[in-house]
């Protein structure tokens, strides 16, 4: 196993099978499909909705769904980009569903969410990247669930600031955009995306904090081939561009079609990075092997942590 400071290079497709790294014991999860899990599963099917929990094969789906919470994924389940770490299907998506905003609002109502997390696939096929649909979903959720806080986990909209403004104009409570990895690995891990676009998205959102108490958030993964020094530098840069909340988790290869794990970071490394992030000035850093961007999202705001 590589040390935390090593500059592990990513294997090529031809060597993926021979260089697969065995999972350590701390990544074992409990597969529990109780009545609450089944109720959420049935509701998503009844309302024809997608969740990132399912599409991205999140390891926390059993915990979250049993607590009747989920991250709703809008604009379909087909992405126009092909990130090497992601299991969401790629291709040409269908046109946005005009009835989806109402169904999302109903799902939030049925789950009784005090904090709803919304995300989407990349929709580079649309002139506005899907921003108008984003706004419609947020309006619908607020109309049906006026006391529910809304967290949006948005794509980069190809750097189109006017598209992002359509989302920001609906005043989400938490704005998230995931940087995911260090800039050196963007071309391999996130083809079709640019590190500079991601930083610009965070900056644009942070600039609106004078208008309402908006919290800005991002996410990074370990195990893609980054070094510790690169992680710390990226964390500093993300914070400098406005992120106050950071989540850090272990990359887990969803299937043989995605790039392999370069290494599994020990839980102590996540603890160390969380401490470093707080010293950099982050209000909160949620870090651990199974942490994902929306994991414990309802408790990521400073006022919630203090309560």
| Tens-place pLDDT, residues 168-189 | 999 999 999 999 999 999 999 9
Q: Is the dihedral of CA 230, 233, 237, 243 positive or negative?
A: positive
% the chain with pLDDT above 70: 83
- Per-residue pLDDT, averaged over 244-252, amounts to 96
* Residue 62 confidence (pLDDT) above 80: no
pLDDT-wise least confident of 46-55, 75-84, 281-290: 46-55
pLDDT at 8: 38
pLDDT at 245: 96
pLDDT at 177: 98
Q: Is the dihedral of CA 174, 177, 180, 182 positive or negative?
A: negative
- Per-residue pLDDT, averaged over 273-289, amounts to 96
202-216 per-position pLDDT tens digit: 999 999 999 999 999
pLDDT at 106: 94
8-17 per-position pLDDT tens digit: 343 344 334 4
pTM: 0.86
pLDDT at 302: 52
CB-count exposure of residue 10 (10 Å: 0-12, 13-18, 19+): middle
pLDDT at 65: 61
- Per-residue pLDDT, averaged over 144-165, amounts to 95
pLDDT at 222: 98
* Residue 195 confidence (pLDDT) above 90: yes
pLDDT at 52: 62
Per-residue confidence band for 301, with pLDDT thresholds at 50, 70 and 90: low
- Per-residue pLDDT, averaged over 86-90, amounts to 89
Whole-number average pLDDT of the chain:
86
pLDDT at 59: 67
CA distance 60 to 291: 8
Q: What domains does the chain contain, in order, with CATH numbers?
A: 30-306 (3.20.20.70)
* Residue 304 confidence (pLDDT) above 80: no
Per-residue confidence band for 105, with pLDDT thresholds at 50, 70 and 90: very high
Per-residue confidence band for 63, with pLDDT thresholds at 50, 70 and 90: low
Q: Are 90 and 23 in contact (CB under 8 A)?
A: no
CA distance 232 to 221: 12
pLDDT at 15: 39
Q: Is the dihedral of CA 289, 292, 295, 300 positive or negative?
A: positive
């Amino acid at each position: 196993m590589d040390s935390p400071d090593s500059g592990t290079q990513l294997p090529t497709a031809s060597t993926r099978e021979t260089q697969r790294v065995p999972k350590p014991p701390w990544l074992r999860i409990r597969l529990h499909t109780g009545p609450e899990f089944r109720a959420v599963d049935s509701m998503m099917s009844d309302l024809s909705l997608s969740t990132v929990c399912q599409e991205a094969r999140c390891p926390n789906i059993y915990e979250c769904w049993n607590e009747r919470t989920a991250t709703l994924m809008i604009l379909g389940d087909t992405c126009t980009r092909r990130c090497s770490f992601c299991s969401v299907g790629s291709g040409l998506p269908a046109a946005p569903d005009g009835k989806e905003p109402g169904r999302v609002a109903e799902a939030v109502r049925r789950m009784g969410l005090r904090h709803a997390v919304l995300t989407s696939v990349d929709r580079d096929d649309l002139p506005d990247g899907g921003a108008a649909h984003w706004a419609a979903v947020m309006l619908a959720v607020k109309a049906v669930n006026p006391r529910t806080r809304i967290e949006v986990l948005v794509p980069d909209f190809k750097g189109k600031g006017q598209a992002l403004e359509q989302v920001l104009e609906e005043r989400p409570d938490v704005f998230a955009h995931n940087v995911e990895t260090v800039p050196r690995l963007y071309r391999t891990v996130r083809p079709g995306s640019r590190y500079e676009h991601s930083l610009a998205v965070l900056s644009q959102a942070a600039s609106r904090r004078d208008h309402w108490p908006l919290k800005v958030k991002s996410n990074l993964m370990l195990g893609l081939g980054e070094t510790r020094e690169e992680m710390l530098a990226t964390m500093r840069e993300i914070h400098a561009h406005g992120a106050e909340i950071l989540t850090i988790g272990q990359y887990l290869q969803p299937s043989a079609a995605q790039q392999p794990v370069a290494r599994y970071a020990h839980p102590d490394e996540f603890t160390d990075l969380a401490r470093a992030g707080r010293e950099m000035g982050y209000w909160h850093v949620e870090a651990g092997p199974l942490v994902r961007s929306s994991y414990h999202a309802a408790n990521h705001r400073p006022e919630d942590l203090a309560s």
